A and B are shown apart, each in its own frame.
Chain A
Amino acid sequence: MTAPLLEVRDLVKRYATGGLARGPRAVVHAVNGVSFDLAAGETLGLVGESGSGKSTVGRTILRLTPATAGAVRFDGVDVFAAGAAELRGLRRRMQLVFQDPYSSLNPRMTAGAAVAEGLEIHRLLPRQEIPARVAGLFEEVGLEPAHTARYPHELSGGQRQRVGIARALAVGPAFLVCDEPVSALDVSVQAQVLNLLGELQRRRRLAFLFIAHDLAVVRQLAHRVAVMYFGRIVELGTTEQVVHRPLHPYTAALLSAVPEPDPASRRRRIVLSGEPPRPTAPPPGCPFASRCFHPKKDERCRTELPALRGLGDALVACHHAETGPLTPDP
């Protein structure tokens, strides 16, 4: 096996909040030691609910926000140690596709200019060759040549997301962080964009960190899935294993909450009660214990943080994972 394209090790991100008029200062533990590898051409789905830290992981890897601790290597380069010139080179190879292209595209810039911008900044092409390259990118993402002259408000949500993807592809990246790229779209448009991302990955051998909250959407593209809860990966395995033989009770609950378009679905409905802990006050034990329904939940869960450990070919952070798969089927 060749070296992974991306190595993430013990990533930690904490924010200070409060102070002055906004109450006492506190530290938000957003990401609490996340590690994974990603190979070229591979998709890792990063799944979790709002506040789980999944978007922060993506932004920290790209150095859009500084990490508190940990290391990221991309194609052998230490991302956090890179100087300005090296970082510019990295930025060309690691790109971000946002959830909401309406707020990430400049409203005063035509779609064509937005896609050309990266080519200009990185001086990747002689100026006169840029329009032809932009036209090629528009075709590749399924937009018409006429769309280059449109402003974001003249495009539909799906078209804007295609512009966002073309803009990310323009600089020839090897790795895309896709942060909830379809969650704001209608079903039919979501399908179009998911199909497009799959085609682009095969054609360009792109690696994706695909961040989403919907496991059915993630399953469409991901080879492996990491489930995050409260700033930690609580389960990581092949998509097949995570979706059909979940080992962590939180994964099982997430799966059971996906609204399935099948009234005869025999999935067990797990409705969680309780609230997650406050990110300013992490509990000493398992962060999921306050909502956990595992039949073997005990005192240890409340006092001892379960480590992420290997079990079969999966990784899981649960003291009682040996009980076997918590299948969501009855």
Chain B
Amino acid sequence: MNDLLQVRGLRIAFPAPGGGSVYPVDGVDLELGRGETLALVGESGCGKSLTALALLGLVPAPGRIAEGSRIVLEGTDLRELGPEGLRRIRGRRIGIVFQDAMTSLNPVLSAGAQVREAVAAHRILSAREAKARAIELLGEAEIPDPAARYDSFPHELSGGLRQRVMIAIALAGEPDLLIADEATTALDVTVQAQILELLDHLRATRGMGVLLITHDLGIAAGRADRVAVMYAGQIVEEAPTARLFEAPAHPYTRALFRAIPRLDGAVERLANIPGGVPSAAAWPGGCRFHPRCTEALARCAADVPPVADVAADHAARCWLAVKQP
């Protein structure tokens, strides 16, 4: 596969209150090709957003990417770039759209001016050219009547239109990789469907890789080629989308499926995953999911499970998935 992004053994360290370090992201491997959508799915506190920030070199202080982590974008190891090199990568090679456009946009600048600013940051253009390009980008983000909307301020736009402005800004540097970090979570379902449709269209027409970060397995099901499920700082299962939904191998993935309300079938009691997501300061020993796992074996509490191949292209970090010799 023509790999666009390769992440190997990504660990993010934060100083622990009593000395030493905690690792909210603890050994993440990811691969993403051009024109491909990878969904990174997990609940709050699993480390998925921090993983996205690491790709952009934006891990908030005092956190840092630990030694031995590798983030390779088309042959370039981002860890070897200085701040200036990273700044060039951000926006030009990797664009990001966050959940909350209202807090990401500048409230006292017009939407168009913010897109123009992003255009000018990446290319040397005259003011008129930059404005024309910004209007083009607003159009590509499918904002109706982009020339008229150019002068609108963020508070004058609906949540869906604000998110489209964010997408236009992310596209300004013609990125190869677009990260959507819960980009549709705050939106109404019909607007969410429109934005997901737009992202998919942009992926197909521009050949971008899309990293779709979401807590919603439903979003992953509809839009991703592959899904990686994250729990307690690690990827616990990864598979092509259809395969993951047909035959989930990790008990956490299975429990998540049974916890989701459905539109079809009989209405049943939803699965209770007992307890809550542990904090990075107290990842359980052995398998990190074992205290909440209904299928745990004795060894799950004692031994760290390996990443086991369940099938071609399908892996799970679980003792139950390890084939007996």
Contact = CB atoms under 8 A, between A and B. Distances in A.
Interface in B251-270: 255-257, 259-264, 267, 269-270
A254 B272 contact: no
B259 A188 contact: yes
Nearest to B263: A216
Q: Which of the listed residues B193, B217, B272, B273 has the most CB atoms from chain A within 10 Å of its own CB?
A: B193
Nearest to B242: A263
A243 B271 contact: no
A259 interface: yes
Q: Which of the listed residues B191, B197, B216 has the most CB atoms from chain A within 10 Å of its own CB?
A: B191
Interface in A103-150: none
A271 B277 CA distance: 35
B194 interface: yes
Interface string B229-255: 000000000000110010000000001
B320 interface: no
Nearest to A250: B190
Contacts of A322: none
A260 B189 contact: no
Interface stretch (B99-107, B169-177, B218-226): B218-226
B193 A257 contact: yes
Interface string A237-278: 000000100000000011111111111110101011101000
Interface residues of A, number: 42
A189 interface: yes
Contacts of A258: 189, 218, 263
A156 B260 contact: no
A49 B218 contact: no
A68 interface: no
Contacts of B189: 49, 213-214, 254, 257-259
A214 B188 CA distance: 9
B196 to A, nearest CB: 8
A279 B287 CA distance: 53
Contacts, number: 118
A158 B272 CA distance: 12
A186 B43 contact: yes
A255 B269 contact: no
A190 to B, nearest CB: 7
A220 B261 contact: yes
Contacts of A156: 276
Contact of B193 (A261, A264, A269): A269
A187 B277 CA distance: 12
B180 to A, nearest CB: 14
Contacts of B241: 263
B263 A219 contact: yes
Given A220-B270, A265-B221, A260 B262 contact: yes
A216 to B, nearest CB: 4
A265 B264 CA distance: 10
A174 B272 CA distance: 27
A270 B222 CA distance: 13
Interface in B34-60: 43-44
Contact of B245 (A188, A216, A263): A263
B51 to A, nearest CB: 17
Q: Which of the listed residues B219, B261, B272 has the most CB atoms from chain A within 10 Å of its own CB?
A: B261
A38 to B, nearest CB: 19
B269 A261 contact: no
Q: Which of the listed residues B191, B260, B263, B272 has the most CB atoms from chain A within 10 Å of its own CB?
A: B263
A257 B192 contact: yes
A99 to B, nearest CB: 13
B245 A213 contact: no
A257 B194 CA distance: 9
Nearest to A216: B261
Given A50-B188, A186-B44, A255-B263, A271 B221 contact: no
A187 B193 contact: no
A192 interface: yes
A261 B257 contact: yes
Contacts of A191: 259-261, 270-273
B43 A188 contact: yes
A188 B221 contact: no
Given A215-B263, A220-B261, A264-B242, A188 B256 contact: yes
Given A188-B259, A219-B267, A258-B218, A195 B272 contact: yes
A194 interface: yes
B43 A49 contact: no
Contact of B270 (A157, A195, A215): A195
Nearest to A217: B261
Contacts of A273: 194
Nearest to A328: B263
Q: Which of the listed residues A49, A157, A262 has the most CB atoms from chain B within 10 Å of its own CB?
A: A262
B197 to A, nearest CB: 5
A158 B276 contact: yes
Sort A-B residue pairs by CB-CB distance and give the 10 closest, nearest first: A259-B218, A191-B270, A191-B259, A49-B188, A257-B189, A186-B43, A188-B273, A257-B193, A216-B261, A261-B217
Interface of A: 49-50, 156-158, 186-192, 194-195, 198, 213-217, 219-220, 243, 253-265, 267, 269, 271-273, 275
Given A50-B159, A259-B189, A262-B245, 17 more contacts: A186-B215, A188-B255, A189-B43, A191-B271, A194-B270, A254-B190, A257-B189, A258-B189, A258-B263, A259-B218, A260-B221, A260-B263, A263-B222, A263-B241, A263-B245, A264-B245, A265-B222
